[in-house]
Amino acid sequence: MHPLAWWVWALGLAVAVTRTTNPAVIALILASVVLVVLARREDAPSARAFRGFLVLGGCIVAIRVLFYAVVGIKTPGVVLVDIPRVALPSWAVGVELFGPITLTGLLVALYGGLRLATLVVCFGAANALANPKRALRSLPASLHQIGTAIVIAVSVTPQLATAAAGIRRAQRLRGHEPRGVRGLLSTAVPVLTDALSRSLALASSMDSRGYARPLTGRTDRRVSTLVVLALVAASMGTYGLLDGTSPRWLGVPVLVIGAAAAATASILAGRQVRRTRYRPDRWGSPELVVAGCGVVAAVLLVAATATDPASLDPSLSPLGWPQVPPVALLCAVVAAIPATRVFRRSAARGAA
């Protein structure tokens, strides 16, 4: 399976999730994501980190709710718990500490937290299904170097988790049972020093294996000129777009010129890097289906918000139960299609 297919699918679902605050719809999409990951993940270290993303999602919801209770703006509504407000000195005006917790406010926090958590889980799903290091292989040559750096930065998190587990296990050997802040420190210090020395070792290994190796005598001046042009065009174009008084030609046309310059620079820079791909991933019909499912799911919800925004945003004043509109149900089903067994067989044939 081409890794980009999974990333397109996950991004599509992420877009779909941002279109709605309806917890029922979000929960449906979340269920589809988890289902697909469980059905399709391979036995690789990056796939095992998915559980971590789920835990992270749970933490996000909890923190969002906690923040609402402590410093959130207390919207009027049915009061659940009446915590007295703490008076803050005059320099902190505008910040409210505690205060009555209302059902409306709590639900806003909960829905927002759930949405953010689902976004993170979508990202985790792409990470689990498509090895990020393989995804990098599909980048254009000029972005290869920076892409490698990003991917290594991303893959540090699961590595830290395994390192932490290993170090806790080793420390139990000496009878050390890490607890509390001191326990956290005793694990964190070796994990972080370990991560640092490991990343240095990795960098030196990549260096001596020819990473970021330029072709000798072929520095192209045009690239830097084009990049400067693209940057200038981008800032001028944005200014023109946002400032209503500036002439029209300063907006979109300049932005288009900037984008073209950037693309040309990327192609020229790509010519300076000589690098080939070993057994590149092919893009076939299974990939098309997976990516298509993500795109369709996104389009469905984007279209739904454009035509009938009320159904995807449950009313909070007056309070109402969230509804599941048919279009959301359809979206969740489409999102779950990549998990099906029929599809898996055709994918296997596609790979062979």
Partner 1 sequence: MILFDHVTVTYPDAVRAALTDVTFRVPEGELCLVIGPTGAGKSTLLKAACGLVPHFTGGLLEGRVVVEGRDTRDHPPRDLADVVGVVVQDPASGFVTDTVEEELAYTMEQLGLAPSVMRTRVEEVLDLLGLATLRGRPLADLSGGEQQRVAIGSVLTSHPRILVMDEPTSALDPAAAEDVLAALTRLVHDLGMTVLLAEHRLERVVQYADRVISIASDGTTVDGAPAAVLADSVVAPPIVELARLAAWHPVPLSVRDARRRAAPLRERLVGSTANRRPSVAGDHVVRESAVTVLAAPPVTVLAARDLHVRYGRTHAVRGVDLTLSSGQVVALMGRNGSGKSSLLWALQGSGPRTAGQVLIAGPPGAGPKADPASMRPRDARLRVALVPQNPQDLLYLDTVAAECAATDAQIGAAPGATRTLLDGLTTGVPDHAHPRDLSEGQRLALVLAIQLAARPCVLLLDEPTRGLDYAAKRHLAAALSRHAAAGAAVLLSSHDVEFVAESAGRVLVMADGELVADGGVRDILVASPTFAPQVAKILHPVELLTVDDVRRALAATR
Instruction: Choose, by CB under 8 A, the member of 179, 209, 221, 341 that binds partner 1.
Output: 209
126 CB neighbour count, 10 Å cutoff? 25
Q: Does residue 41 interact with partner 1 by CB under 8 A?
A: no
Q: Give the residue with the Cβ less far from partner 1, 18 or 187.
A: 187
Q: Is 279 left (phi over 0), alpha (psi -120 to 50) or beta?
A: left
Q: What are the structure tokens assigned to 6, written together? A: 């999974």
Question: Which residues make Cβ contacts (< 8 Å) with residue 164, sequence separation at least 6?
Answer: 187, 191
Q: Does residue 283 interact with partner 1 by CB under 8 A?
A: no
Q: What are the structure tokens assigned to 129, written together? A: 């299904």
Q: Does residue 219 interact with partner 1 by CB under 8 A?
A: no
Q: Does residue 43 interact with partner 1 by CB under 8 A?
A: yes
Closest CA to 115 of 37, 15, 18: 18
Closest CA to 83 of 61, 62, 64, 105: 105
Instruction: Choose, by CB under 8 A, the member of 35, 120, 156, 206 that binds partner 1.
Output: 206
CB of 276 to partner 1, least distance (A): 5
What CA dihedral angle connects 199, 7, 112 and 298, to 10 degrees? 170
Q: Is 7 exposed, middle or buried (CB count within 10 Å of its CB: 0-12, 13-18, 19+)?
A: buried
Q: Give the residue with the Cβ less far from partner 1, 100 or 183.
A: 183
Q: Residues of 190-199 as b/e, b for ≥16 C-beta within 10 angstroms? A: bbeebeeeee
User: What is the SS3 string spanning 87-146?
Assistant: CCCHHHCCCCECCCEEHHHHHHHHHHHHHHHHHHHHHHHHHHHCCHHHHHHHCCHHHHHH
Instruction: Choose, by CB under 8 A, the member of 71, 76, 86, 176 that binds partner 1.
Output: 176
Query: Phi and psi dihedrals of 102, rounded to 5?
Result: -105, 160
CB of 133 to partner 1, least distance (A): 6
* Contact letters for partner 1, residues 101-140 (x by CB under 8 A): ------------------------------x-xx------
Q: Does residue 166 interact with partner 1 by CB under 8 A?
A: yes
Q: Does residue 202 interact with partner 1 by CB under 8 A?
A: yes
Instruction: Choose, by CB under 8 A, the member of 62, 201, 310, 329 that binds partner 1.
Output: 201
Angle between helical axes of 103-129 and 3-18 (0-180°, round to 10) = 170
CB of 150 to partner 1, least distance (A): 14
By CB under 8 A, the count of residues binding partner 1 is 47
Q: Give the residue with the Cβ less far from partner 1, 135 or 336.
A: 135
Q: Does residue 187 interact with partner 1 by CB under 8 A?
A: yes
Q: Give the residue with the Cβ less far from partner 1, 155 or 238.
A: 155
Beta-ladder partners of 86: 97
Q: Give the residue with the Cβ less far from partner 1, 204 or 315.
A: 204
Of 63-71, 187-195, 284-292, 327-335, which part binds partner 1 (CB under 8 A)?
187-195
Q: Give the residue with the Cβ less far from partner 1, 249 or 278.
A: 278
Give me the residues that bind partner 1 (CB under 8 A), please.
43-46, 131, 133-134, 162, 166-167, 169-177, 186-187, 189-190, 193, 197-198, 201-213, 216, 274-280
